[in-house]
Amino acid sequence: MPAIVTQGLTRRFGRHLAVDTLSMTVPEGAVYGFLGRNGAGKTTALKMLLGLLKPGAGQARIAGIDVGRDRIAAARQTGALLEAHGLYPNLTGRENLDLTRSLLGLPRVEIDRVLDVVEMSGDAGRRVGGYSLGMRQRLGLARALLGAPPVLILDEPTNGLDPDGIADMRRFLKSLPDRTGATVLLSSHLLGEIEQTATHIGILNGGRLVLEGELARLKADLPPEIDLRVDDAGRARSVLANHDLTVTDQPESLHLELRPGQDVDATAAALNRDLIAAGIGVFALSPRARSLEGIYRAVTAASAPRAPETL
């Protein structure tokens, strides 16, 4: 059974359509990167999953439980870190955790367990008012982990962190499924973060899910690309015309897009041979790594003309 399933989830704010018939599936044990630019509807969707907002249409299930019908049972399966941490600055880290622990009816040892997971045991006695943003994020994560919920919903967990904080958070998020066994739904607008952390992705654009799938498979389906720098682009283009690929001019190079499934190494070797044989000086011939950015640009560009966010 998938950890999270939504079907036709929709939410409007007045005339603004924030989430449009969102149907997504988060497999159990996945780190699911929920991608989209600011205002794409990610937070609204997450709030509907948590029962904080009521959908105008559609339904959401967490661990098989319909959130709309039984919010409390669904919430028992979920730990959440929201964009606003909601920590009390007048209390210590441990006191903050203890409040949620009491509300969840958990034993006191849970606090030490989650502090250990986020490596914050040493700072738990200090008031949260004196914490850095990174420490607050980690404490928020510790709070989400209380009771070891099978599903974690994390809204922009790297927001506002410095580079070291982002690296720490990335390392931590990657290790979460192994350390806790939880399925993680992680929203972000940072492609690099999702690429290095997620096993699955869903891309939201203008409130609509425009792509979903396993990240490795999506990348494998991308056509291979090669960047080429030569001394004579005009002559090179005529050599390249004999190969099955698409050539695009870049400011200082040629961009070659191969056909899906084409062997990039064999093609590069063949290109190199032909260019040298034609007396063309080859400065660089570099296969481009398949990136999430490529996927993101392709799907958002394809769905870009649509502007019905406001109906």
In the complex, the smallest distance separating the C-beta of residue 117 from other proteins, rounded to whole angstroms, is 18
Q: What is the DSSP string of 216-259?
A: HHHHHTSPPEEEEEES-HHHHHHHHTTSSSEEEE-SSSEEEE--
Q: Beta partners for 62?
A: 4, 65
Give the x-and-dash track for 138-167 against other proteins (CB under 8 A).
Answer: -----x------------------------
Q: Cα(first)–Cα(last) distance of the chain, in Å?
A: 36
254 binding other proteins? (CB under 8 A): no
CA distance 47 to 34: 13
Q: What mask, x for binding other proteins by CB under 8 A, covers residues 71 to 90?
A: -xx-xx-x-x-x-xxxxxxx
- From 93-101, 182-190, 254-262, 281-289, span contacting other proteins (CB under 8 A): 93-101
Within residues 114-143, the interface with other proteins by CB under 8 A covers 127, 143
Closest distance between other proteins and the C-beta of residue 48, in Å?
11
Structure tokens, 128: 């949260």
Q: How many residues does the chain have?
A: 311
Where do runs of H (alpha helix) occur along 22-146?
42-49, 71-75, 93-104, 109-117, 133-145
The residue within the footprint of other proteins, chosen from 1, 15, 103, 279 (CB under 8 A), is 103
| Interaction residues for other proteins, span 40-59 (CB under 8 A) | 47, 50-54
Tokens representing 243 are 């190969």
Q: Does 14 bind other proteins (CB under 8 A)?
A: no
Binding site for other proteins (CB under 8 A): 13, 47, 50-54, 72-73, 75-76, 78, 80, 82, 84-91, 95, 98-100, 102-105, 127, 143
